[in-house]
Amino acid sequence: MDSLSLFCTAALLAGGLYWFVCILGPAEQKGKRATDLSGGSISAEKVRDNYNNYWSFFRRPKEIETADKVPDFVDTFYNLVTDIYEWGWGQSFHFSPSIPGKSHRDATRLHEEMAVDLIEAKPGHKILDVGCGVGGPMRAIASHSRANVVGITINDYQVNRAKLHNKKAGLDSLCEVVCGNFLEMPFQDNSFDGAYSIEATCHAPKLEEVYAEIFRVLKPGSLYVSYEWVTTDKYNCDNDEHVAVIQGIERGDALPGLRSYSDIAETAKKVGFEVVKEKDLAEPPAQPWWTRLKMGRVAYWRNHIVVTILAALGIAPKGTVDVHEMLFHTADHLTRGGESGIFTPMHMILCRKPFHSSS
């Protein structure tokens, strides 16, 4: 190969790597680049150890059933995955039905806006985002409703990311972020005009505990909507394939245990809510939510190569490769759950705190 050909080949490779890492960057926004991947609040040299500890959690079933261990395990998970989620998925860590002619980003925004429309949020209202992540839904909802949104997440790294994004979006006057456990929220009784959770309460070891906390902080007459991860009526616990898929989703998404769709309304009523509406938003005529995962297979392999190179160069923590691979396998389980109809990430329940309630 002559020197010109060698130069052109090297330039092409360098240009391709620069495109993947610095230009293409995150999936649908520019909030996180591959060169900035980290382990959240975990130091780089401890990322792999924390990943191994996270994974071993599922090898000790009795600990999964121990509620006081779950918050730390969820916190570890989000330290490991937050940067990868932002880079490869966007700032909204949830799914939405596909909409013909609309981008994934637009479909996500409409899914979020529907939540705040359901709870009838208005300008000046104080709304609670239960499990806000890095605040993608918060910003869409604040912008759409002009309500004041207070988000809570257990992960301190996500708090800092959310505040940064809020400021960049010019929405920090409407959006507030608090670090805390949604099972013990640092808010006064009867202090919110509405609340929502988007694919977040699935991390609670007991749904009743988080619903009770939300009930406590809502003003009487206020509405709460949740998009829940559940198994559907098609799930058969005696079917080995079904069980393998659900366990794969639980292990790859820090879930102490998926609930059945039939448990949701019963739990809401148990803590005092009136159930206004309940519906699986993934059911037809809604378009499949999992197509985004299937379409991302090429992007995954591209991203995995980038992550591997960056880890080898010491730019990204070495454990990042393990985490990225785990998320790929999780995407496969989610896809299988969606295609078979045994799982949905958007079982919607709309509840009201009775006007006569004093707590």
pLDDT tens-digit profile of 176-190? 999 999 999 999 999
Q: Decide if pLDDT at 33 tops 90.
A: no
Pairing of strands 175-179, 192-198: unpaired
Provide mean pLDDT across the span 30-57: 84
Q: How far apart are CA 78 and CA 62, in angstroms?
A: 22
Residue 358's pLDDT band, with cuts at 50, 70 and 90, is: low
Q: What is the pLDDT of residue 235?
A: 97
Domain that holds residue 185: 46-358
Residues 6+ apart with CB under 8 A from 245: 333, 336, 337, 340, 342, 343
Q: What does the pLDDT read at residue 25?
A: 47
The pLDDT assigned to 1 comes to 53
Q: Kindly report the backbone phi and psi dihedral angles of residue 193, in degrees, each rounded to the nearest multiple of 5, phi listed first.
A: -85, -5
What is the chain's mean pLDDT, rounded? 88
Number of domains in the chain: 1
Residue 25 lies in a domain: no
With bands split at pLDDT 50, 70 and 90, how would you rate the model's confidence at 27?
A: very low
Report pLDDT digits (tens) over 306-321: 888 888 888 889 889 9
Give the pLDDT of residue 295: 66
- In this prediction, residues 58-79 reach a mean pLDDT of 73
**pLDDT band at 28, cuts 50/70/90?**
very low
pLDDT band of residue 59 (cuts 50, 70, 90) is: low
DSSP 45: G
- Domain assignment present for 187: yes
Tell me whether residue 188 is exposed, middle or buried, using C-beta atoms within 10 angstroms of its C-beta: 0 to 12, 13 to 18, 19 or more. Answer: exposed
Q: Is it the case that residue 31 has pLDDT exceeding 70? A: no
- Measured distance CA(214)–CA(195) in Å, rounded: 8
Report which residue type is found at 205. P
DSSP state at residue 233: T
**For residue 64, what are the contacts with CB-CB under 8 A and spacing of at least 6?**
57, 58, 70, 256, 257
Q: What is this structure's pTM?
A: 0.89
* Cα separation, 94 vs 127, whole angstroms: 19
Residue 331 maps to which CATH number? 3.40.50.150
In a domain, 341, yes or no: yes
pLDDT score of 64 more than 60: no
**Dihedral angle at the C-alpha atoms of 311, 317, 138, 287, nearest 10 degrees?**
40
Inside any domain, residue 8: no
Residue 82's closest CA among 304, 324, 257, 300?
Answer: 324
Of 57-66, 141-150, 291-300, the one with minimum mean pLDDT is: 57-66
| C-alpha dist (Å) from residue 128 to 102, 116, 182, 320, 356 | 28, 10, 11, 32, 21
134 is a domain residue? yes
What's the pLDDT at 354?
97
- Does the pLDDT at position 204 exceed 50? yes
Domain contains 193: yes
pLDDT value at 62 more than 90: no
pLDDT tens sequence across 82-124: 999 998 889 999 999 998 889 889 999 999 999 999 999 999 9
The pLDDT value given to residue 65: 52
Q: What is the mean pLDDT of residues 298-306?
A: 79
6 pLDDT above the threshold of 60: yes
More confident residue, 335 or 28: 335
Please tell me whether residue 197 adopts helix, strand or coil conformation: strand
Q: Residue 266: which of 230, 221, 220 has the closest Cα?
A: 230
CB-neighbour burial class of residue 247 (10 A; exposed 0-12, middle 13-18, buried 19+):
middle
Whether 130 is covered by a domain: the verdict is yes
Q: Is position 71 within any domain?
A: yes
Helix axis angle, 156-168 relative to 136-145, nearest 10°?
A: 40
Beta bridge partners of 126: 148
Burial 132-144 (b: 16+ CB within 10 A, else e): bbbbbbbbbbbbb
**Percent of the chain scored above 90 by pLDDT?**
67
Instruction: Tell me the pLDDT tens digit for each residue of 239-295.
Output: 999 999 999 999 999 998 899 999 999 999 999 999 999 999 999 899 999 988 876
